[in-house]
């Protein structure tokens, strides 16, 4: 048996002063213990965070990130479970292709990795993947990076996913509305001569998908929402009782297009939008319309991100900075409680995606030890990820991850 003591332990939605008791790597219920206790004094114990939107880049793009470096970076950020996106080579659109990723996960991952399978063959949006064969090993189905353009094909995918007991996780983007844009179609784009991406390209496909959800009864989750219209559509869908959830990222909650600079580390898809959009996202977090925080951790090489705002590839890293940023800008400022933040980072994603682990009795003892008082400056050279492109370089934050445990064993 092992017992872990801290200033407070988060368990089942609230903080308690009793130690966290474990046996054979599993959290157990106990009131007293006479053996050695691992004490973290003035630190806090939280359930390991779970990120349902991470790009680990392997197989196919290991010069950007590997499953080894990506999961170590995740542990550095306090995460013990991630869902890995399918824009890989080969695309996990068949059991054979997915097995290549599963083999690397088994060999190299230091935390739990739950891979997505593609909705369509090659993520090309023309025919469904082998969803029957993939369902056993896939956490859900997604074509992340691309929206499924065909209404008919998306309806077929939803019906098949429902029959298989799986969720559709959608990157929503109408290709015809992109018009060569690469940042938000707002004030910065206008004043600096950049081509903009309109918010409608996101919310219009969400609107379409929600109608299909109502028709099919499919479980549905929306990736990285960024627009105020998206928040309102999802709010209305939930009021109707549809089986719908969504996520947003720390960068959409803290930054907007007024923070843009002419550097690739400010370029991601969807883009940083207006102040009004950011405020609507914050309201969505506060009222429960937005269910969880996901980082969309998307590492690229330094060369790919060093071509300026127009020509750099889209995507930033974020899994090592999500907790301190959200704690500093949302809990310390009184916008949300610490308990709410833990729900957004751990409880809610685990519940929605069926991910085991945490600090509840009977679960694998997957937890992180955090010093909420420690202040530091974000420095990308300290990252364990191979990616370095963060818009938060130089930001001062509070809340440092000290240790991360998996099955009561220290992994970071």
Q: Which two tokens stand for residue 41?
A: 């004094």
Q: How many CB atoms neighbour CB 105 within 10 A?
A: 19
Task: Determine the Cα–Cα distance for residues 243 and 177; give it in Å rounded to an integer.
Answer: 27
Residue ranges of E strands in 93-179: 112-115, 168-170
Sheet holding 112-115, edge to edge: 49-54, 79-84, 112-115
257 is catalytic: no
| Residues 6+ positions from 230 with CB-CB distance below 8 Å | 172, 199, 202, 203, 206, 222, 246
Strand partners, 197: 184
Task: Determine the Cα–Cα distance for residues 343 and 293; give it in Å rounded to an integer.
Answer: 9
Q: What are phi and psi of 251, to 5 degrees?
A: -65, -35
Query: Is-contact 298 316, C-beta < 8 A?
Result: yes
Closest-CA residue to 335 (of 374, 287, 266, 383): 287
| Distances 74 to 34, 53, 202, 386 between C-alpha atoms, Å | 34, 12, 28, 12
At CB < 8 A and 24+ separation, what contacts does 18-22 make? 20/45, 20/359, 20/365, 20/367, 22/365, 22/408
Query: Is-contact 273 247, C-beta < 8 A?
Result: no
Query: Is-contact 30 65, C-beta < 8 A?
Result: no
Query: Is-contact 4 410, C-beta < 8 A?
Result: no
Query: Is-contact 362 26, C-beta < 8 A?
Result: yes
SS3 labels along 262-283: CCHHHCCCCCCCCHHHHHHHHH
Residue 218: asked if its preceding bond is cis (omega within 30°), the reply is no
Closest-CA residue to 385 (of 314, 310, 293, 322): 322
Q: Which two tokens stand for residue 80?
A: 């013990």
Using only C-alpha atoms, what is the Rg of the chain? Answer: 20
From the list 296, 347, 366, 371, the catalytic residue is 296
Q: Which residues are part of the catalytic machinery?
A: 296
């Amino acid at each position: 048996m092992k017992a872990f003591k801290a200033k407070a332990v988060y368990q089942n939605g609230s903080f308690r002063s009793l130690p966290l008791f474990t046996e054979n790597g599993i959290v157990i219920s106990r009131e007293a213990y006479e053996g050695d206790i691992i004490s973290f004094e003035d630190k806090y114990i939280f359930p390991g965070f779970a990120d349902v939107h991470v790009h680990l880049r392997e197989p196919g793009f290991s010069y950007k990130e590997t499953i080894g470096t990506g999961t170590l970076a995740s542990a550095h950020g306090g995460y013990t479970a991630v869902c890995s996106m399918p824009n890989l080579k080969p695309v996990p659109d068949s059991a054979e292709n997915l097995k290549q990723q599963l083999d690397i996960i088994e060999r190299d991952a230091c935390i739990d990795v739950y891979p997505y399978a593609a909705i369509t063959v090659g993520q090309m949006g023309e025919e469904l993947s082998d969803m029957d064969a993939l369902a056993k090993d896939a956490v859900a189905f997604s074509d992340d990076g691309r929206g499924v353009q065909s209404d008919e094909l998306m309806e077929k995918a939803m019906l098949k996913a429902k029959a298989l007991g799986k969720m559709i996780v959608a990157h929503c983007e109408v290709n015809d509305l992109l018009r060569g844009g690469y940042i938000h179609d707002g004030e910065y784009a206008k004043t600096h001569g950049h081509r903009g991406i309109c918010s409608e390209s996101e919310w219009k496909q969400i609107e379409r998908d929600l109608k299909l959800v109502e028709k099919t009864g499919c479980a549905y989750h929306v990736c990285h929402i960024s627009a105020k219209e998206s928040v309102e559509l999802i709010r209305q869908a939930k009021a109707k009782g549809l089986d719908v959830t969504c996520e947003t990222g720390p960068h959409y909650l803290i930054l907007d297009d007024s923070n843009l600079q002419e550097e690739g580390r400010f370029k991601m898809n969807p883009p940083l939008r207006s102040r009004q959009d950011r405020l609507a996202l914050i309201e969505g977090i506060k009222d429960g319309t937005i269910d969880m925080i996901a980082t969309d951790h998307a590492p690229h090489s330094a060369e790919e991100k060093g071509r300026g705002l127009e020509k750099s590839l889209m995507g930033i890293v974020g899994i090592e900075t999500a907790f301190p940023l959200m704690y500093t800008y949302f809990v310390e400022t009184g916008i949300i409680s610490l308990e709410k933040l833990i729900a957004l980072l751990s409880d809610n994603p685990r519940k929605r995606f069926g991910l085991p682990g945490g600090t509840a009795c009977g679960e694998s003892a997957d937890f992180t030890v955090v010093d909420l008082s420690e202040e530091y400056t974000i420095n990308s050279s300290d990252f364990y990820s191979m990616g370095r492109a963060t818009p938060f370089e130089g930001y001062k934050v509070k809340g440092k991850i000290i240790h991360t445990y998996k099955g009561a064993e220290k992994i970071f």
